[in-house]
């Protein structure tokens, strides 16, 4: 991976992931949940990625299958950091939720409260939802009325 920047933007270049994102793979496999071995492999890689992010004070804030790319070797890559937060630049108590960043099926319950705030735990909640979806073939929580 390489990066560059100009006066207004930061650019990251990543390798091409020919197999697309995890949501595409879930859709293609919706009638055949993943094996425990595959779930462990994907989860371990995602945990490693989240550990690196959190160690550097970054909360992804929008972890979901469509933000996880898969290369031709089955390796996962976390992408789409436009809604992520850098904790070291602000007090953790000041990190208020941004409703535009929320994908309800992967959002921790506390973020639906009026005074909800992001934390590293929210990324782990989303990871748990993704693991459940890999095992069962559907998201763990879904309600048409969410967000209304």
The reported pLDDT for the residue numbered 81 is 87
Domain containing 85 equals 21-136
Mean pLDDT of the chain: 82
Residue 112: both structure tokens together: 């639906």
Residue 114 lies in a domain: yes
117 CB-contact burial (10 Å; exposed 0-12 / middle 13-18 / buried 19+): middle
For residue 10, the surrounding DSSP H or E stretch is strand 10-13
**What pTM value is reported for the model?**
0.80
Cα 93 off chain centre by: 22
Higher pLDDT, 15 or 137: 137
Residue 146 lies in a domain: no
The reported pLDDT for the residue numbered 4 is 75
Residue 81 lies in a domain: yes
Residue 13 lies in a domain: no
Total count of domains within the chain? 1
pLDDT at position 134 over 70: yes
Residue 125: both structure tokens together: 């909640």
Residue 5 lies in a domain: no
Residue 103 lies in a domain: yes
Residue 2 lies in a domain: no
For residue 122, give the CATH number of its domain. 1.10.510.10
Across the range 2-30, mean pLDDT stands at 77
Residue 58 lies in a domain: yes
């Amino acid at each position: 991976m390489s990066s560059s920047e100009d006066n207004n933007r930061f650019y990251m270049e990543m390798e091409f992931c020919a197999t697309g994102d995890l949501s595409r793979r879930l859709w293609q496999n919706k009638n055949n949940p993943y094996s425990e071995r595959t779930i462990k492999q994907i989860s371990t890689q995602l945990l490693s990625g989240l550990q690196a992010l959190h160690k550097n004070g970054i909360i992804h804030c929008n972890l979901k299958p469509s933000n996880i790319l898969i290369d031709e070797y089955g390796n996962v890559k976390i992408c789409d950091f436009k809604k992520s937060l850098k904790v070291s630049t602000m007090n953790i108590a000041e990190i208020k939720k941004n409703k535009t960043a929320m994908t309800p099926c992967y959002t921790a319950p506390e973020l639906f409260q009026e005074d909800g705030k992001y934390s590293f735990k929210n990324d782990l909640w989303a990871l748990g939802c993704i693991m459940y979806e890999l095992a069962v073939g559907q998201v763990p929580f879904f309600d048409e009325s969410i967000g209304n």
